[in-house]
């Protein structure tokens, strides 16, 4: 079996867990009743399953090929699939109608992204980063820039890239050297070397719009002197067509990587390339973070989606492969052996994956809904709350679900046994592909630092206090509901642990910032588990409501069982994370560097 998009589960989350119908008075949502959402996701699933998924292994095996004329050839079939995607309008689902987008809620676009990323992660990065470029220009571009670039980026007829990293400068953008020299006509000459540029050059789009961080001559040192520029591969004509080649922009090579071979990871050289400033001088970092934050949520989704695809492959293998007998007597007595799904330790890996994926899907779509409410909620308080949530949860979702995506992919390989280590089965590619998601758009360690160093403290801790208040209200509302009692108990208990960890951080992080850094990753995990417990309680309520209403669909009873697995076998990690984070920086920072 190849990948099957989990449309049923997505619709359950959107309709029954998040109650999307309740938002039908909001713009965007008004035009997307659940019947239409179901149609869109069903069609999207078809495209991902039938067009993108079959190219996943092709992309891995062929990879992208760089030629000495600085062009890049994508794997066989990618170009046709890209054109089909543009023609079908998939990249434009959530973009603004004034720029040719369909104006649907972002949460619907996110659901589609899960499927496309699961079907073919390397391919889906091309439109994914293009949408990031779209968002940055939408946020900071001039009306002329918007008119010129946004329609092409919304449709993905033109590709988009993010150019941050330089050889000496990754996480620490203050070290950035690429320079921009004003030409007096509103344009700049951009010169510098950029590395790890995903989709920096390829043969699928009519043009590629590079968003490049650079330092204008004379700008302050460090991060305060960084500006953002549009540097297109071909200079656009005034009517939005493709003009002459921007000669100074070149892809001078490709990175050889462990995975995502179908995505061109480029060394880019800018030699007096023509570019235009977006927004104000020296405000480039702020705009880049518009792309970055969107990308971070997308990367969390990549973790989940690769996990889902790998899990599906493992399930198929576990049902087919006959080895050994069930510990409680043969389950396939007429066959030579039982399918390995009868073995408890195989089950453990599958259930662990399933519980993480289904809870994670709800968590990510919940966050996607916050992304809509930031813009669409009718009152300022609701918009602010959504924005606080988005800020708070983005690092949590990025780090936790990429980390778990790797674990699930590794467990999927383990279910495959020796077959999984060979390249004849898909497990190896999922593991190799997903591994980058823990690193790019800010390593998971950077996410943890963002959480404890910035997001927690922002606005006097408003976001985390809002979260606690929402959880408490939810618990209060459902505490008497016996049918979901273990879920409310579990949530209360982990919420208390998160409170404990938060208090510890506030008391000890200021006294010694290394305490905050030392606690950051365990705190992030504790936060994610609390969020998951919240989501599983919501899922249990929705499932229980359906059962109470008379549904005999096993889907709902299975949700309660899977949720019970989460409570019994995933949530206990919270206590270990709390115990570790409270030990502080002591033993962690004590050794001299020479002792390693």
**Closer CB to its own copies, 19 or 513, in the complex:** 513
C-alpha–C-alpha distance, residues 516 and 114, integer Å: 33
Minimum separation from the CB atom of position 97 to its own copies (A): 37
Kindly identify the residues of this chain, within the stretch 126-165, that bind its own copies according to CB under 8 A. Answer: 165
Minimum separation from the CB atom of position 300 to its own copies (A): 16
Per-residue contact string for residues 190-209; x = within reach of its own copies by CB under 8 A: -----xx-------------
DSSP alpha helix (H) spans, 52-180: 56-62, 78-88, 106-119, 121-140, 143-155
C-alpha–C-alpha distance, residues 529 and 572, integer Å: 9
- Binding residues with its own copies: total (CB under 8 A): 95
**Binding piece for its own copies, criterion CB under 8 A, among 155-163, 211-219, 275-283, 554-562:** 554-562
**Closer CB to its own copies, 44 or 298, in the complex:** 298
Kindly identify the residues of this chain, within the stretch 331-390, that bind its own copies according to CB under 8 A. Answer: 336-337, 339, 341, 343-351, 354
In the chain, the N- to C-terminal Cα span, in Å, equals 47
Kindly identify the residues of this chain, within the stretch 465-524, that bind its own copies according to CB under 8 A. Answer: 512-514, 516-518, 520-521
C-alpha–C-alpha distance, residues 322 and 185, integer Å: 71
Distances (CA, A) of 47 to 51, 81, 85, 90, 92: 5, 9, 8, 9, 15
DSSP alpha helix (H) spans, 510-566: 513-548, 554-565
Minimum separation from the CB atom of position 118 to its own copies (A): 16
Minimum separation from the CB atom of position 134 to its own copies (A): 24
Minimum separation from the CB atom of position 183 to its own copies (A): 29
**Closer CB to its own copies, 388 or 411, in the complex:** 411
**Closer CB to its own copies, 83 or 319, in the complex:** 319
C-alpha–C-alpha distance, residues 398 and 440, integer Å: 10
C-alpha–C-alpha distance, residues 31 and 28, integer Å: 5
The enclosing H or E element of 106 equals: helix 106-119
**Binding piece for its own copies, criterion CB under 8 A, among 69-77, 111-119, 170-178, 379-387:** 170-178
Kindly identify the residues of this chain, within the stretch 314-333, that bind its own copies according to CB under 8 A. Answer: 315, 318-319, 322-324, 327-328
Q: Which of 49, 441, 480, 594 is catalytic?
A: 441
What is the Cα Rg of the chain in Å? 24
Q: Which long-range contacts (CB under 8 A, 24 or more apart) does 588-594 make?
A: 588/514, 588/518, 589/514, 589/518
Q: Are 581 and 516 in contact (CB under 8 A)?
A: no
Binding its own copies (rule: CB under 8 A), the pick from 15, 179, 257, 492 is: 257
**Binding piece for its own copies, criterion CB under 8 A, among 45-53, 184-192, 487-495, 582-590:** 582-590
**Binding piece for its own copies, criterion CB under 8 A, among 132-140, 295-303, 376-384, 573-581:** 573-581
C-alpha–C-alpha distance, residues 102 and 92, integer Å: 6
Kindly identify the residues of this chain, within the stretch 427-466, that bind its own copies according to CB under 8 A. Answer: 428, 431-432, 435-436, 438-440, 443-445, 448-449
**DSSP β-ladder status, 265-278 and 187-198:** antiparallel
**Binding piece for its own copies, criterion CB under 8 A, among 68-76, 104-112, 498-506, 559-567:** 559-567
Binding its own copies (rule: CB under 8 A), the pick from 46, 76, 245, 569 is: 569
Minimum separation from the CB atom of position 492 to its own copies (A): 17
Q: Are 107 and 114 in contact (CB under 8 A)?
A: no
C-alpha–C-alpha distance, residues 457 and 498, integer Å: 15
**Closer CB to its own copies, 25 or 328, in the complex:** 328
Minimum separation from the CB atom of position 263 to its own copies (A): 12
Per CB under 8 A, 68 contacts its own copies: no
DSSP state, residue 120: -
Minimum separation from the CB atom of position 520 to its own copies (A): 6
**Closer CB to its own copies, 384 or 443, in the complex:** 443
For the record, the structure tokens of 291 come out as 């792309």
**Closer CB to its own copies, 351 or 376, in the complex:** 351
Q: Which long-range contacts (CB under 8 A, 24 or more apart) does 586-595 make?
A: 588/514, 588/518, 589/514, 589/518
Kindly identify the residues of this chain, within the stretch 391-430, that bind its own copies according to CB under 8 A. Answer: 406, 410, 413-414, 417-418, 420-424, 428
**Closer CB to its own copies, 87 or 256, in the complex:** 256
Binding its own copies (rule: CB under 8 A), the pick from 35, 380, 480, 592 is: 592
Minimum separation from the CB atom of position 145 to its own copies (A): 29
**How many Cα atoms sit within 13 Å of 108 on the Cβ side?**
30
Q: Are 151 and 209 in contact (CB under 8 A)?
A: no
Handedness of CA 350, 356, 357, 359 (dihedral sign): positive
3-class DSSP state for residue 252?
strand
Minimum separation from the CB atom of position 244 to its own copies (A): 33
For the record, the structure tokens of 427 come out as 């497990």
**Closer CB to its own copies, 86 or 449, in the complex:** 449
**How many Cα atoms sit within 13 Å of 559 on the Cβ side?**
28
For the record, the structure tokens of 584 come out as 């502080």
3-class DSSP state for residue 93?
coil
**Closer CB to its own copies, 68 or 590, in the complex:** 590
Kindly identify the residues of this chain, within the stretch 89-128, that bind its own copies according to CB under 8 A. Answer: none
Q: Is 441 a catalytic residue?
A: yes
* Residue numbers annotated as active site: 441
């Amino acid at each position: 079996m190849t990948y099957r998009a989990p449309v049923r589960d997505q619709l359950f989350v959107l309709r029954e867990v998040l109650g999307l119908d309740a938002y039908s008075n909001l713009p965007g949502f008004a035009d997307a009743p659940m019947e239409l959402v179901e149609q869109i996701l069903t069609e999207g699933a078809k495209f991902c399953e039938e067009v993108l998924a079959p190219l996943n292994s092709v992309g891995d095996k062929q990879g992208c090929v760089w030629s000495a004329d600085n062009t890049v050839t994508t794997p066989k079939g990618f170009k046709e699939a890209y054109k089909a995607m543009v023609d079908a309008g998939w990249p434009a689902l959530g973009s603004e109608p004034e720029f040719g987008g369909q104006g649907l809620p972002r949460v619907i676009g996110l659901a589609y992204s899960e499927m496309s990323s699961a079907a073919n992660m390397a391919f889906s990065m091309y439109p994914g980063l293009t949408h990031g470029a779209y968002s940055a220009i939408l946020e900071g571009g001039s009306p002329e820039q918007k008119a010129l670039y946004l329609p092409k980026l919304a449709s993905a007829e033109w590709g988009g890239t993010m150019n941050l990293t330089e050889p000496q400068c990754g996480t620490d953008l203050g070290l950035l050297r690429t320079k921009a020299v004003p030409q007096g006509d509103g344009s700049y000459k951009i010169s510098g070397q950029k590395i790890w540029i995903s989709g920096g050059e390829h043969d699928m789009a009519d043009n590629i719009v590079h968003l490049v961080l650079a330092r204008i001559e004379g700008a302050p040192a460090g991060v305060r002197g960084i500006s953002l520029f549009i540097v297109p591969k071909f200079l656009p004509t005034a009517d939005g067509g493709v003009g002459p080649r921007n000669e100074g922009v070149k892809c001078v090579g490709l990175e050889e990587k462990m995975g995502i071979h179908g995505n061109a990871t480029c060394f880019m050289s800018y030699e007096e390339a023509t570019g235009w400033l977006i927004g104000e001088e020296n405000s480039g970092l702020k705009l880049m973070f518009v792309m970055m934050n969107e990308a971070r949520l997308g990367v969390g989704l990549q973790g989940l989606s690769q996990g889902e695809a790998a899990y599906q492959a493992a399930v198929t293998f576990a049902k087919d492969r006959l080895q050994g007998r069930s510990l409680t007597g043969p389950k396939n007595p007429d066959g030579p052996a039982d399918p390995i799904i009868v073995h408890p330790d195989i089950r453990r890996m599958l259930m662990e994956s399933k519980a993480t994926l289904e809870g994670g899907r709800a968590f990510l779509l919940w966050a996607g809904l916050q992304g809509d409410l930031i813009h669409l909620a009718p009152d300022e308080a609701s918009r602010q709350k959504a924005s606080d949530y988005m800020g708070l949860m983005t690092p949590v979702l990025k780090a936790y679900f990429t980390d778990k995506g790797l674990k699930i992919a590794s467990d999927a390989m383990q279910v495959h046994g020796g077959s999984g280590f060979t390249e004849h089965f898909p497990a190896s590619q999922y593991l190799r592909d997903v591994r980058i998601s823990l690193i790019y758009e800010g390593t998971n360690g950077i996410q943890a630092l963002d959480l404890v160093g910035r997001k927690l403290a922002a606005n006097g801790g408003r976001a985390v206090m809002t979260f606690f208040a929402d959880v408490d209200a939810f618990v209060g509302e459902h505490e008497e509901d016996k049918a979901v009692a273990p879920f409310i108990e579990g949530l209360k208990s982990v919420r208390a642990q998160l409170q404990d960890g938060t208090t510890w951080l506030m008391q000890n992080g200021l006294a010694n910032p290394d305490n905050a850094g030392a606690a950051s990753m365990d705190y992030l995990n504790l936060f994610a588990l609390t969020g998951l417990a919240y989501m599983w309680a919501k899922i249990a309520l929705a499932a229980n409501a359906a059962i109470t209403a008379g549904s005999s669909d096993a889907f709902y009873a299975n949700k309660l069982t899977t949720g019970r697995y989460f409570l019994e076998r995933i949530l206990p990690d919270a206590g270990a994370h709390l115990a570790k984070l409270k030990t502080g920086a002591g033993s962690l920072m004590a050794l001299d560097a020479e002792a390693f």
